Amino acid sequence: MRTTREYHLENPQNFKAALLQWSRQFEEIAWLDSNDHSPQHTSFDAVLAVEAFTAIKTDHFNAFSKLQEYQEVTKDWIFGYLSYDLKNDVEVLSSNNFDGLQFPELYFFQPQKLLFVRNNVLEMRYLKMAEDSMEEDLKEILAYERKITAKKSAEDEEGQMVSPSFSEEKIDKGIVPRISKENYLEKVKEMLRHIHRGDIYEANFCQEFFAENREIDPFRVFQNLNEISRPPFAVFLKLENNYLLCASPERYLKMEGGHIISQPIKGTARRSQDPEEDEKIAKILAQDPKERAENIMIVDLVRNDLSRIAKKGSVNVDELCKVYSFKQVHQMISTISAKLEEGIPPVEVLRATFPMGSMTGAPKISAMKIIEELEESRRGLYSGAVGYFNPEGDFDFNVVIRSILYNSLAKYVSFSVGGAITSRSIPEMEFEECLLKSEAMRKALDL
């Protein structure tokens, strides 16, 4: 049982910034922020979960079974992640590529303290052992808010709100690719050979950028990244020495009251500061046959995955290949829904659909095998999912893309980018799309 209190917020934006500052004292932090997108099916504007009461941390072996037991026994809010390498629990697969991050493959925790921001209201939900600290915690957060408000007012008066410029030369000295451009192009050509042989129709091919012996301030870098992108599924995650700084625009899967939705993204185009040109770019993306083909293939894969756990005839494509505009890029998004079959546990819905089709390819198992052969870095949390379960077993998870991963003990910084390779793919253009997707992470680390 949790003790609940509510407070009206005068300035939710400054209060959200204060919440993140206040959270720095804790070893376990999960911060989920919709950045005022108010996307369909969103349950709150933001939530902060801190200070683990219980936790589960494991490798891929029987990971989903262990998570199901933890979720059913806890019957409370739990927050955490599923790494891409849990594919090895779902199918007979392996992950043998280099892993500089060394994150656990699954990690969830039950927070003592939960703070929701919704419609200008703060809702604090604390476990009984922590309820005596509610009043003092709120005082501390409000003190942070006052400092942030005063600082913003001073900056506005002095005109100091100009963001630093991005220096490509500077960032390239710190962040290097795991594979060269020439090697990347050869690997895309090899993937195309698999496609032309009929081994696969489509596969998501990714490459890592990394820095060794690099110390960063994860909170500051996350604030930079979030300000650059303002995505609907932003996450700041700290679990001991491991950090995820995530600016994801993509939902993996949400279930509420037995209603399931998946919203895969396939199709990316740049934004323009010129409104007419920007609108033209979005229209070209919407009509691009290659991008539509990529998206539709993944929609079919998601429909197939959901049919394993859905009531017969309930899987439906609610929205096909719709273009949405974000701060950095235009994205092509589809929405697929289903109704859960009676008697199927919530974790089984994740197991039946994991990893998400937008980050694997079709057919899924063949694509994952080829991905493992051609990529040179272990994906880990990248292209996995972060989210939560509530006490009723409902859940919501994003896709971990547009993200920076950091092991503060190893001083290892990493981000990966990729795209769908189909028979229409041109290797040079795929490389350029990777650079476009990497821009926000590069800027965030450079600021």
Residue 422 and residue 156: Cα distance in Å, rounded?
48
Residue 266 annotated in active site: yes
414 near 438, Cβ under 8 Å? Answer: no
- What is the amino acid identity at position 323? V
Residue 444 and residue 223: Cα distance in Å, rounded?
8
Residue 428 annotated in active site: no
* φ, ψ (nearest 5 deg) of residue 92: -80, 85
Which of 51, 250, 291, 294 is the catalytic position? 250
78 near 89, Cβ under 8 Å? Answer: no
* φ, ψ (nearest 5 deg) of residue 337: -125, 165
Whole-number Cα distances in Å, 81 to 89, 93, 195: 15, 20, 32
User: CA nearest 419: which of 325, 332, 351?
Assistant: 332
Which of 266, 369, 437, 443 is the catalytic position? 266
Residue 47 and residue 235: Cα distance in Å, rounded?
10
User: CA nearest 420: which of 191, 249, 185, 210?
Assistant: 191
Length of the chain: 447
Q: Residues with catalytic annotation?
A: 250, 266
